[in-house]
Amino acid sequence: MKRPSLGRLSLILGGLAMIGPFSIDTMFPAFRQMGAQFGADTLAMQQTVSVYLVAYAVMSLVHGPLSDAIGRRRVILGGLAVFALASVGCALADDLPTLLAFRALQGVSAGAGLIVGRAAIRDLLHGDAAQRMMSQVSMIFSIAPAVAPIIGGWILGWDRWPAIFWFLVLFAVLLWLATWFGLPETHPPEARFRPSARGLLRSHRYIALNPRFQRFAAAGGFNFAALFLYIASAPVFVMEHLRLEQDQFGWFFVPTIAGMMLGAFVSGRTAGRVSATRSVAIGFAICGIAAVANLAYTFAVGQATAPWAVLPMAINALGIAIVFPILTLAILDMYPRQRGAASSLQSFTSLILQSAVAGAISPLISHDRRWLALASAAFTFLGFLFWYWEIRSCRGAPVPETEKPVAETPAL
Handedness of CA 77, 83, 89, 92 (dihedral sign): negative
Residues making up the chain, counted from first to last: 412
What confidence score (pLDDT) does residue 405 get?
38
Q: Got the DSSP string for 186-253?
A: -S-GGG-----HHHHHHHHHHHHT-HHHHHHHHHHHHHHHHHHHHHHTHHHIIIIIS---TT-THHHH
CB atoms within 10 A of CB 42: 16
8 Cβ contact list (under 8 Å, min separation 6): 182
CATH class of 6-187+195-394: mainly alpha
- DSSP designation for 301: -
Tell me the average pLDDT across 239-265: 82
| Of 269 and 282, the one with more pLDDT | 282
What's the pLDDT tens digit per position in 49-73?
A: 888 888 888 887 888 778 877 888 8
Specify the higher pLDDT residue, 194 or 264: 264
- CA-to-CA dists, residue 162 to 30, 56, 78, 174, angstroms: 9, 22, 24, 19
- Of the ranges 56-60, 190-194, 272-276, 298-302, which is most confident? 298-302
**Do 110 and 56 meet the contact criterion of CB atoms below 8 Å apart?**
yes
Q: How many CA atoms lie within 13 A of 88 on its CB side?
A: 9
Residue 29 DSSP class: G
271 has which bridge partners? 274
Whether 134 shows a pLDDT value over 80: the answer reads no
Check pLDDT > 90 for residue 286. yes
CA pseudo-torsion sign 296, 217, 322, 186: negative
Taking residue 41's Cβ as centre, other Cβ atoms within 10 Å add up to 10
> What percent of the chain clears pLDDT 90, i.e. is strictly above it?
31
Pick the most confident of 191-200, 298-307, 311-320, 360-369. Answer: 311-320
DSSP 3-state of 407: coil
pLDDT in tens, 157-201: 888 999 999 999 999 999 999 999 888 887 777 666 666 667 667
Q: How confident is the model at residue 375 (pLDDT cuts 50, 70, 90)?
A: very high
- The answer to whether residue 406 scores a pLDDT higher than 50 is no
Query: Rounded to whole angstroms, how far apart are CA atoms 34 and 280?
Result: 41
Residue 247 or 16, more confident: 16
Q: Model's pTM, two decimal places? A: 0.70
Higher pLDDT, 244 or 296: 296
Phi, psi of 344 (to 5 degrees): -60, -45
DSSP 8-state symbol, 30 = G
Report the phi/psi class of residue 95: left, alpha or beta, with left for phi > 0 and alpha for psi in -120 to 50.
Answer: beta
Q: How far apart are CA 239 and CA 376, in angstroms?
A: 19
Predicted pLDDT at 264: 79
Backbone angles phi and psi of 271, in degrees to 5: -60, 125
Q: Are 207 and 338 in contact (CB under 8 A)?
A: yes
Rounded to a whole number of angstroms, the distance between the first and last alpha carbons of the chain is: 25
Query: Could you tell me the CA-to-CA distances from 32 to 39, 130, 162, 185, 245 in Å, in that order?
Result: 10, 42, 13, 43, 11
